[in-house]
C-alpha cells in the first residue's frame, strides 16, 4: 500500500474513532443548550465554542461526522446494489432489456443529480422526525445515485456475456438467473467495489449541499450540511476573528480527500 493511502486510511480511522469516543471527548450532548453561553469562544469545556443556541460545537461536529460516516457508506451500498442489479441484468441479457435499462439510465443522467435530489427531498412531508430526515436523505442518495454506476456495470456485464466460461455455463443448461448470480456478478465484483468507493465522497458532498440549502437532516440532529449552514451567517471578518467556525469544513475536506485517495485507481485507470 502506498504511503498516501496508508495516511488516508489512518486519518479516516482517527476521525471514526473520535466519533465513537464523542462522549469522552466532548461530554455535553449535541442537543443540550447552555442558554447562558450562546456563541461562546473555545474554552476547556467547549473546545470549539458554542453555537447561537449555546450547544457545544464539538459535540455537534462529532455527532454530525458519525451520521455522515455511517450513512454515506450505507447509501453507497444501496446504490451499488441497485447498479449491480440493473446494470448486471441489462448487460447480461442484452437486447431490449439493455436498451430499456440504458434508456432509464440516460433519463436519470439527463437531469443534474442535485436537481433531482432537491426536487424529491422537498416533496417529502413537512413533519418528519430528525431521525426520519437522516434516513430519508441518505436513502434518497442511495436510490437516486445508481445511474452512472449502472452504466459501468452494464458495460462490464456486456463484455462478460460472450466470454468462454459464460458460454460454457449456458451450454451446460444453466438458467439465466443462476448464471448471472453465480458467474457474472462475482466477476463484476471489482467494478462494484470501485463504484462503492466512488459513491461515498459523492454522497457526503451531496448531503452537505442539501444541508446547506436547508433540505438535509432536520434539527436538532447535526450533519455536515447543517453544520456548514452556520457559515451562511458569517462574513470574511467574522471568520478571521473566529477561525474555529471553519473546523467542520476542514474536517469534511479531510474526510472526502481521504476517500478520494482510497479509490481503487490501480484496477480502474480513469
Residues that bind other proteins in the complex, under the rule CB under 8 A: 103, 106-107, 110-115, 118-126, 201, 205, 208-209, 212-215, 225, 228, 231-232, 234-236, 239, 249, 252-253, 256-257, 260, 269-270
Query: The cell 443556541 sits on which residue?
Result: 53
Burial group, residue 149, by CB count within 10 angstroms (0-12, 13-18, 19+): buried
**Residue 164: which H helix or E strand, with range?**
helix 164-171
CB of 97 to other proteins, least distance (A): 17
Contacts of 152 (CB under 8 A, 6+ apart): 83, 87, 191, 195
Name the residue nearer to other proteins (CB basis): 166 or 208: 208
Name the residue nearer to other proteins (CB basis): 9 or 37: 9
SS3 56: strand
Name the residue nearer to other proteins (CB basis): 29 or 260: 260
Name the residue nearer to other proteins (CB basis): 26 or 68: 68
Name the residue nearer to other proteins (CB basis): 150 or 166: 150
Question: Under the phi-then-psi rule, with left for phi > 0, alpha for psi from -120 to 50, and beta for the rest, what region is 54?
Answer: left
CB of 94 to other proteins, least distance (A): 19
* Among candidate residues 82, 69, 12, 13, the one with its CA nearest the CA of residue 204: 69
CB of 113 to other proteins, least distance (A): 6
Are 30 and 63 spatial neighbours (Cβ–Cβ below 8 Å)?
Answer: yes
CB of 126 to other proteins, least distance (A): 6
- Residues in a beta bridge with 56: 50
Query: The cell 480527500 sits on which residue?
Result: 257
* Among candidate residues 72, 69, 51, 71, the one with its CA nearest the CA of residue 220: 51
Name the residue nearer to other proteins (CB basis): 90 or 180: 90
CB of 150 to other proteins, least distance (A): 16
CB of 121 to other proteins, least distance (A): 7
Amino acid at each position: 500500500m502506498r504511503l498516501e493511502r496508508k495516511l488516508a486510511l489512518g486519518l479516516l480511522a482517527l476521525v471514526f474513532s473520535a466519533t465513537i469516543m464523542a462522549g469522552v471527548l466532548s461530554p455535553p450532548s449535541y442537543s443540550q443548550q447552555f442558554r447562558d453561553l450562546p456563541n461562546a469562544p473555545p474554552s476547556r469545556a467547549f473546545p470549539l465554542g458554542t453555537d447561537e443556541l449555546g450547544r457545544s460545537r464539538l459535540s455537534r461536529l462529532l455527532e454530525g461526522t458519525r451520521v455522515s460516516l455511517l450513512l454515506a457508506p450505507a447509501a453507497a451500498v444501496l446504490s451499488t446494489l441497485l447498479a449491480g442489479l440493473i446494470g448486471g441484468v441489462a448487460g447480461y441479457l442484452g437486447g431490449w432489456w439493455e436498451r430499456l435499462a440504458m434508456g432509464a439510465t440516460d433519463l436519470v443522467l439527463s437531469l443534474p443529480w442535485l436537481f433531482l435530489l432537491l426536487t424529491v427531498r422537498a416533496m417529502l412531508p413537512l413533519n418528519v422526525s430528525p431521525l426520519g430526515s437522516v434516513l430519508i436523505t441518505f436513502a434518497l442518495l442511495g436510490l437516486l445515485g445508481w445511474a452512472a454506476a449502472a452504466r459501468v456495470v452494464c458495460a462490464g456485464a456486456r463484455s462478460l456475456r460472450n466470454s468462454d466460461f459464460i458460454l460454457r455455463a449456458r451450454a451446460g443448461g444453466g438458467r439465466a438467473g443462476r448464471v448471472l448470480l453465480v458467474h457474472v456478478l462475482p466477476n463484476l465484483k471489482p467494478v462494484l467495489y470501485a463504484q462503492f468507493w466512488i459513491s461515498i465522497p459523492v454522497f457526503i458532498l451531496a448531503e452537505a449541499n442539501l444541508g446547506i440549502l436547508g433540505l438535509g437532516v432536520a434539527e436538532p440532529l447535526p450533519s455536515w450540511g447543517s453544520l456548514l449552514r452556520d457559515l451562511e451567517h458569517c462574513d470574511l471578518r467574522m471568520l478571521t476573528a473566529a477561525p474555529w467556525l471553519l473546523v467542520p469544513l476542514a474536517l469534511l475536506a479531510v474526510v472526502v480527500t481521504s476517500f478520494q485517495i482510497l479509490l481503487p485507481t490501480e484496477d480502474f485507470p480513469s
